[in-house]
Amino acid sequence: MIRRRLFSGLLPLVAASATLGATVPAYEAGDRLIWIGSDDRARVLPVPGLMAVRDAVSLPDGGVRVLIARKSASLLPRSDALAGTDLACADILPERVDPRILQLVDDAIVLDAKLSPTGELVSMWTIEMEVRVVDAPRGEPVHAIAAAAEPSWVSDGRALFVSRLAERAPALSGALFPGPLNLAKFDLRSGRIDDWTAGIDDSRSTPMPSGGAVFVSGRRTGIASLWRLDRAGSEPEQLTNIGIDEATHADFVPVPNGALFVAPDGDLAAYAIRYGERREIWILELASGATRFLAGGSHPRWSASGRLVMRAPASGGRDQLLSIDLDSDARQVLATGLPPLRDPLRRPHEASIDSETQPSWTPKSPGREIGAATPEELLDSIFDEQPNGPDVDAGTTFRLPLSSNPGYTGYYDNDAGGGVLDWKCGSWTYNGHRGTDFGAARWSNIHAGADGEVYARCDGFGEGWVGNTDCGGFGNMIMLNHGDSYTIYAHMQNGTPTGWGSKACAELIGRSGNSGNSSGPHLHFEVQKYGYPDDDPFAGSCSGPESFWTDQNNGWPTTDCQDPGGDIVVVDNDDSGFRMVGPPEYWWLATGWGYGGSTRWTWNITSMPFENGAGWLFNTNARGYDVQVYIPGNYATTGNANYYVHTGGSWRGPYSVDQNSYYEEWVSLGRFNFRNGVNKVGVIDVSGEAYGTQRVAADACRIVP
């Protein structure tokens, strides 16, 4: 629910002479910390319950007001796309370390929220497709705009641009933007709303200092583009399209995934794009409409002096906070060690090492880097020596990803130049096509080609068109990790992509549709195979020498899954694949218990970083395995032994086991897709229980195909 007081009424608008606040770069930093960035430094502060930062502006007293989310809920069955969060306002004052927090919305109904330029008002977009305005300091309701979405403030805070729906959408309808959309402007003083455009998909508006707005539209020309509008009812001007970008000579000028962020001088705007896991920042010159690529990264924000602050990728899979002077291109690292950003609207259930077990991260001072070792680095220390990997076979093969084969609308393009060449040396493809297109009718069942784990997913997008960039053009999609390869299933029907977790071969993972960059319903099936120069799944005279299909069947792959095969592999605590780290005098060997008649054990500690750890190495071919650990009947008293699994280049976990509840038996940690070569399982002495009161056993580990 929205917080309401016993009295109501409209909040008086801030006078035009009031000092306007400036947008402040603010980012979640993991471990319930928030980064506050400026031109040349960043500070980190704790915020209780922080999950996501929505917006931040500076206050006249030198403080910062931040909109935060602290919980989320998935509201569309089997989908993370249409999800909402609660909303709170956190005032970070100069003289206080702990913020002053006011809960504005209790229920998880908020899709996005923005602060007005002064920070006095909050506009929010809810799952009921309604825009609401509340008083930030007191949480009192001010306005409600029905059948609207994506609010954005004009520079004086007296009006909002919104995407207006032709008819109100029911909550949980499954369509993020049901019905036509046009751009409208809402005046907070009069309560009047005026239509500015008559388009059918005008969205993601950004007000300009001149009084106009820039917005995104795809159906005006069939190409997703940025458009500029100077005044209500005028003819929009197209700023970007699919063409040659003069600055980078790229063959494609993308549009933003979200809002544009206008520089303080009003000349430039920065925006972020994302293609699968690829993140980029682009710059738009508002006067000329020229665009240019700036850097890899996400979440651009302008500082008060006009420097651009952004999250940028760094080593170890983490982010850094980067400040860029666009005039000189001088770049300064403000902070390092930011954990990967999770969007609560898109991926609230993504598995990772739990933030509760991560150490706090320290800002980077000029010229030196501060910070403790990461949990991943500590776990890697268990395995200082590794055996060489075995000779490997071709790895995973795939079944037909549909119930039956409807025929092909396009094969993989094997010509690296400007021509086209399918696997049969024909031309049934188009230039640069990286997958196989099946002419599947809308709502056709899509099946996992092999055992795998959901690595990426997008959902919540409606009908696509040629040039659409939703989820990098894939639209609603699933990407599975098979250990030695990935498969992509794209252009699915809205609301049908399966949820996170492991998927078995032939399991239903979605239904075909026409989302993303698509001219009609079909399934785009793409294989990304490690170690192979070509990723065409068909073996042929003009493709690779080896088929990735379980049975290619003369060009008509069957629905047969790969035979799992393989044997159970056990590594015990006295085998060469077993490792221990930490003071050896604190690792005890007990006999008469455990797998093979012995077990190792150590005393627990309460919190990270761990002191003692143990692990098991497995040299395997790429395949899915059930990972199981053996719990002895004695010397295993902890109720929270934390295990981790390393595969696919990263650690996953922790996976908690109550060792005290088991007696001489195997316990499953779950099913994992191992890559070719070395894969690892580890256990640490951190249990969260009182220091030195419980025993943590490290016995045997096995993998079961």
Check whether 517 has a pLDDT greater than 60: yes
Instruction: Verify that 479 and 511 share a domain, yes or no.
Output: yes
Residue 11 has a pLDDT of 27
Domain hosting 539: range is 397-561
> Are 618 and 494 members of one domain?
no
pLDDT-wise least confident of 151-160, 298-307, 349-358 = 349-358
Which of 164, 195, 226 terminates a domain? The answer is: 195
Q: Looking at residue 589, which CATH number applies to its domain?
A: 2.60.120.260
Residues 656 and 527 in one domain: no
- pLDDT confidence tier of residue 395, bands split at 50, 70 and 90: low
Whether residue 246 is contained in a domain is answered as no
Same domain, 422 and 544: yes
Establish if 430 belongs to a structural domain.
Answer: yes
Q: What is the mean pLDDT of the chain?
A: 77
Q: 3-class SS at 5?
A: coil
User: 300-335 in b/e burial notation, b at 16+ Cβ within 10 A?
Assistant: bbbbeeebbbbbbbeeeebbbbbbbebeeeeebbbb
User: Longest C-alpha distance within the chain, in Å?
Assistant: 85
Give the E-state strand segments of 219-265 in sequence order.
Answer: 225-229, 237-238, 261-262
657 and 679, same domain (yes or no): yes
- Could you tell me which residue, 360 or 596, shows the higher pLDDT? 596
Whether 234 is in a domain gets the answer: no
Least confident of 86-90, 164-168, 640-644, 688-692: 164-168
If asked whether residues 603 and 477 sit together in one domain, one would say no
Residue 378, SS3 per DSSP:
helix
Do residues 415 and 541 both lie within one domain?
yes
Question: What does the alpha-carbon distance between residue 452 and residue 673 come to, in Å, rounded to a whole number?
Answer: 6
Do 535 and 662 fall within a single domain?
Answer: no
557 and 570 share one domain: no
Of 276 and 11, more confident: 276
CA dist 180 to 128, 129, 176, 335, Å?
16, 13, 12, 43
Structural domain tally of the chain? 3
Which of 530, 545, 561 is where one domain is finished? Answer: 561
Residues of the chain with pLDDT > 90: what percent? 23
Question: Mind listing the pLDDT tens digit for each residue in 180-221?
Answer: 678 999 999 999 999 999 876 677 788 888 888 988 776 566
Clarify whether residues 21 and 129 are in a common domain.
Answer: yes
SS (H, E, C) 610-671: CCCEEEEEEEECCEEEEEEEEECCCCCCCCCEEEEEEECCEEEEEEEECHHHCCCEEEEEEE
Same domain assignment for residues 134 and 182: yes
Lowest-pLDDT choice from 3-12, 236-245, 260-269, 614-623:
3-12
Instruction: Answer yes or no: do 501 and 624 share one domain.
Output: no
405 in any annotated domain? yes
368 falls within a domain = no
| The overall pTM is greater than 0.85 | no
Q: Considering the domain boundaries, does residue 82 fall inside one? A: yes
Distance CA 126, CA 88 (A): 14
